[in-house]
Structure 1
Amino acid sequence: MSRRTTPEPGLLGPWQYLQNALFYLHVGVATLLMGLAGIPEVMRRGRAGANRVATRWIGYVLWAARIHMGVTCELRGTPPAGDCIVAAKHQCFLDILALAHALPERNFIMKREVMRVPVMGWYAYKVGCIPIDRARGRDAMRAIGETINKRLVGEGLGQLIIYPEGTRTRPGERRSYKHGVGTIRSATGLPVVPVAVNAGLFWPRKGWGVRPGRAVIEFLPAIGPDFPAQAFMAQLSEQIEHNSDRLMAEAGFMHELAQRD
């Protein structure tokens, strides 16, 4: 793991933190109400209904983030529409929302514990998110590959979102990419769409101290199934990290860093 010596977005004033608190209160109430109101649609239409409810909820949360905290998202590139793996840089909650809102049949590989969260966990299961038990290591990845292949034969997979670093990272931080995405690619033969972000410049990892601004989420050219497996991880890392650095530089991150060095 490597890290540039720069902090996350600095401290804001009391009013901004109050706005952050109001946002989370607003979203908490909206999640409960929208989740309960959407249950009949999910029961009637299954996964399609769950995706429709999720899309409405995500759009609402992004709207609330703009109203309360002045943060918005710009989408670049072309979001994929068919079955594929989406491998993204992950810096904060905002990039989760932006990715999920852009993809028509999104689903995630997520920690098993998240699937147990009331309301949200149930919807995550219904839209097709795949739980992972990290303690099982390679056995867990093998089970995920089997689940994906069954879906590909049946109802289709949609866009499976994976975070190759395995956790949120600070702006400018790089962690070693885990091989799970390569394992799933080899097992399924699906194309992999890299995604670069700079959202962590505006929305810190822990969610407090969000600052106004326009975050960018950029879909990059897909890496096809014919790309050599032995070079795949290096290619994926290079595409995501180089382009995330470019997006952060556009937002002034590198200039700010150079002044501090």
Structure 2
Amino acid sequence: MSVLMPLRVILFYLLLAASAGIWGFLMLIITPFIPSAKLRSTLIISWWSRMAIWLTKHLVGIRYEVIGRENIPDQPGVILANHQSTWETFFLQQVFQPQTQLIKKELLYVPFFGWAFALAKPIAIDRKNGRDSLKQLSLIGGKRLAEGFWILVFPEGTRMLPGTTIKFSRGGAALACANNAPVVPVAHNAGEFWPKVGWGKRPGTIKVMIGPALYPKGNDPRAIVEINKQTEAWINQALASQRGE
């Protein structure tokens, strides 16, 4: 599978950056007058994410296939997904709405789009301070769940290379257990087409697999460990099946 010509990738990144800046500027003007937090989040993040996915498809030839949409419950919960690239941060915004994410706070400093992103009230954390990050996830995440938002968490903490056995932190599982919210596991192979390292892109079809919702059996440490292990095992198995193992 060959890497795309550099000019197409450069054009992709130029248009992606330009669209983020323009959209962020517009949102800074429009969304302060919108009282609904859900609508603000949809306008700021979800709509622009559609643009990003469109550019990815038409400029660099990365398409997608989704398996398991019927597994998404009506009740908003915690999405636990493996993390291989930037692509899934865009795409999962379209599948689970309204949604907020656990992000590193540095993203909010990006001119225009980052400033607009702050109006969507993501869960912005300082990854250098692990204990404080967990407190923020628990406190702010609980409020967002009560408001009807899905919470997207990448429990690996950083992007991992395809084929790497995942190991999850328990923050997302603890959030679900504390709020009696379902956990929806998501597995994908985006890193095969949008690599973690470098700017190169490979055309092809990303396979996104959505697993059956898992429901907490309490909020004690044992319940947290159990649901975390179940999610971790399902995603590892789904990734192995994608690789034909």
**Same-fold call, TM > 0.5?**
yes
Letter in 2 for 1:217: V
Measure the CA separation in 2 of the matches of 1:135 and 1:117. 19
- Aligned residue among 93, 97, 112 for 1:119: 112
**Superposed displacement of residue 11, structure 1:** 6.0
Equivalent in the alignment of 1:7: none
What aligned pairs does 1:118-137 form with structure 2 within 5 A after superposition?
118-137=111-130
- Aligned residue among 84, 98, 102 for 1:91: 84
- Aligned residue among 198, 214, 225 for 1:223: 214
**Superposed displacement of residue 81, structure 1:** 5.1
Measure the CA separation in 1 of the matches of 2:112 and 2:197. 22
Equivalent in the alignment of 2:227: 232
Q: How has the CA–CA distance of structure 1 residues 25 and 196 changed in structure 2, closer, same or farther, with 3 Å as cutoff?
A: same
SS of the equivalent of 1:134 reads coil
Equivalent in the alignment of 1:162: 153
Kept after mapping to 1: 8 A contact 2:177/2:217: no
Equivalent in the alignment of 1:33: 22
Letter in 2 for 1:234: K
Matched, 1:107 2:100: yes
Equivalent in the alignment of 1:65: 56
Point out 4+ residue stretches in structure 1 off by more than 6 angstroms.
Answer: none
SS of the equivalent of 1:61 reads helix
Equivalent in the alignment of 2:7: 18
Matched, 1:176 2:167: yes
Gaps of 5+ in 1: 1-9, 255-261
Q: How has the CA–CA distance of structure 1 residues 57 and 174 changed in structure 2, closer, same or farther, with 3 Å as cutoff?
A: same
Equivalent in the alignment of 2:184: 193
Gaps of 5+ in 2: none
1:164-185 deviations in Å (ceiling 9; x for gaps)? 1111111101242112123222
Aligned length: 237
Kept after mapping to 1: 8 A contact 2:185/2:211: yes
Measure the CA separation in 2 of the matches of 1:53 and 1:185. 25
**Superposed displacement of residue 32, structure 1:** 1.3
What aligned pairs does 1:3-14 form with structure 2 within 5 A after superposition?
12=3
1:119-168 deviations in Å (ceiling 9; x for gaps)? 23223322231011223322331232122333445xx1411000111111
Measure the CA separation in 2 of the matches of 1:157 and 1:139. 24
**Superposed displacement of residue 19, structure 1:** 0.8
Kept after mapping to 2: 8 A contact 1:197/1:244: yes
Measure the CA separation in 2 of the matches of 1:33 and 1:82. 34
Measure the CA separation in 2 of the matches of 1:207 and 1:55. 26
TM-score of the superposed pair, with normalisation by structure 2: 0.87
Measure the CA separation in 2 of the matches of 1:63 and 1:34. 15
1:19-61 deviations in Å (ceiling 9; x for gaps)? 1111000111111112222333312214313412422211111
Structure number with bigger Rg: 1
Kept after mapping to 2: 8 A contact 1:198/1:217: yes
> How well do the aligned residues superpose, as a CA RMSD in angstroms?
2.1
**Superposed displacement of residue 207, structure 1:** 5.3
Kept after mapping to 1: 8 A contact 2:216/2:227: no
TM-score of the superposed pair, with normalisation by structure 1: 0.82
Kept after mapping to 1: 8 A contact 2:24/2:114: no
Kept after mapping to 2: 8 A contact 1:92/1:206: no
Kept after mapping to 1: 8 A contact 2:41/2:100: no
